[in-house]
Amino acid sequence: MEQITPAPPETTPDVLVVDDTPANLQLLTGMLKKHGYRVRPVPSGRLAIQAVRKIKPDLILLDINMPDMNGYEVCEYFKADAALKDIPVIFISALDETIDKIKAFSAGGVDYITKPFQFNEVEARVQTHLKLRGIQVELELRNSQLQTSFEEVKKLEELQNNLTHMIIHDMRSPLLGVTGFLEILALKGGKTMTSNDLAILSGARSSALVLVDMVNSLLDVCRLEQGQMPLNLGILDLDVLIGNALASLGSLTGKVSLHYQKPTLATLVKCDANLITRVIANLVGNSIKYTPKDGQVTVSFEDIGDGTVKLWVSDTGSGILHEYHQKIFDKFGQVKTQHSNTRYSTGLGLAFCKLAVEAHGGKIGVESEIGKGSTFWIILPHEGSP
């Protein structure tokens, strides 16, 4: 590819003046030179192209009426070339020539000057467009620097994510080992250990299981984020999924007054049973967690008629400030609340729910008011949907 030398930076601006009338050429060249510009005069369009290809000027003053190639054609030529199109072109026209302003701008000119030349006007226009060009160059430079930094940050973030994922993944097996060994120890020591020691052992095992849970949640969230969790879709009765979800919560469901409004007709949904059961368990588990002991948690659902089914989990708990209604669905999005029925909290549960529901083409949301409680809802495709 042809090499075009740009005008040296931070030096006197380089202006190319193109005019086939020697008197005009001389006049403009003289005026600009006197005021410190570096000027290259050329008498024709073709020579202008040659001059620009040799050294890229900072600005071009271009006569319109020239034999061979007129000013519009020369300008269009520059604008069609990616390497030259950013040079500002100011058209000049003699007194007896009419300038087609529309044509001048549509050919790519930034301005025009008509004869008789008032040097102040010529200088002001040249200076303005040189300044504008300078700002544009600066902006382009900043933009490309920003783009480079953004790409570097993205690469680093990806690297960090991969590393975290690897560490978390590798933590899973030893953690399962710890829980297993603690269980064996508890079984073996059942007869010989004091009840106090057995309680300590059981506490250690519960804590290790919480860690296993955290690791599993993180891995699931990562997999869902990367679209690497295949859905095992089936046609399932929502009532069965809710039953399984409540059963998975075990004794936790006894901590508040729990109502499940079961509809008389079976409602079938198209979903991954394991994922949606865990979503429901998460929502109900949270409601129990953030509701005081004398509070109430209600689970209900309804076919809302547009090929979707809506499920609600409502509680009379602490409620969530409106400004957090979106944030809580982000990874590690947590809000400090007054009531919490358990010690462990990861801020991953709702992120998992959102990703899992959206992977089904569904939606999730919350309506909540401080002091009154929260209603989390999910919308899932009905059994018949494509």
How far is the C-alpha of 24 from the C-alpha of 223, rounded, in Å? 71
Please, what is the end-to-end C-alpha distance for the chain in angstroms? 53
DSSP 342: S
Between 16 and 284, whose beta carbon lies closer to ligand ADP? 284
Q: Phi and psi of 332, rounded to 5°? A: 65, 20
Phi-psi region of 359 (alpha: psi -120 to 50; beta: other; left: phi over 0): alpha
Q: Which is nearer to ligand ADP, 24 or 374 (CB)?
A: 374
| 350: contact with ligand ADP by CB under 6 A | yes
Q: Does 335 bind ligand ADP (CB under 6 A)?
A: yes
Tokens of 17: 């003046």
With binding defined as CB under 6 A, does residue 20 bind ligand ADP? no
Choose, by CB under 6 A, the member of 267, 286, 298, 316 that binds ligand ADP: 286
**The amino acid at 8:** P
- Closer residue to ligand ADP (CB): 248 or 346: 346
Measured from the CB atom, is 245 or 320 closer to ligand ADP? 320
90, 218, 320, 378: which one contacts ligand ADP (CB under 6 A)? 320
Q: Which of 43, 108, 333, 365 binds ligand ADP (CB under 6 A)?
A: 333
Check residue 374 for interaction with ligand ADP (CB under 6 A): yes
324: left (phi over 0), alpha (psi -120 to 50) or beta: alpha
Residue 342 contacts ligand ADP per CB under 6 A: no
Complex with ligand ADP: residue 211 or 233, whichever CB lies closer: 211
C-alpha 90: how far from chain center:
41
Please state the closest distance from residue 313 (CB atom) to ligand ADP, in A.
Answer: 8
Minimal CB distance residue for ligand ADP: 349
Name the minimum Å distance from CB 315 to ligand ADP.
Answer: 5
Quick check: helix, strand or coil at residue 28? helix
Phi, psi of 82 (to 5 degrees): -55, -30
What is the rounded distance in angstroms from the CA atom of residue 376 to the CA atom of residue 48?
70
Q: Choose between 100 and 213: whose C-beta lies nearer to ligand ADP.
A: 213
Q: Does 349 bind ligand ADP (CB under 6 A)?
A: yes
Asked if residues 354 and 300 have their Cβ atoms less than 8 Å apart, the reply is no
Which residue from 221, 315, 355, 364 is in contact with ligand ADP, where contact means CB under 6 A? 315
Nearest to 161 by CA among 344, 331, 333, 350: 331
Measured from the CB atom, is 109 or 317 closer to ligand ADP?
A: 317
Q: Are 75 and 112 in contact (CB under 8 A)?
A: no
Does residue 348 belong to the site contacting ligand ADP (CB under 6 A)?
Answer: yes
Q: In angstroms, what is the minimal distance from the CB of 317 to ligand ADP?
A: 5
Binding residues for ligand ADP, total number by CB under 6 A: 20
Residue placing its CB nearer to ligand ADP in the complex, 27 or 258: 258
Radius of gyration, alpha carbons of the chain? 37
Beta bridge partners of 269: 236, 382
DSSP state of 382: B
Residues that bind ligand ADP (CB under 6 A): 286-287, 290, 315, 317-318, 320, 328, 333-335, 337, 345-351, 374
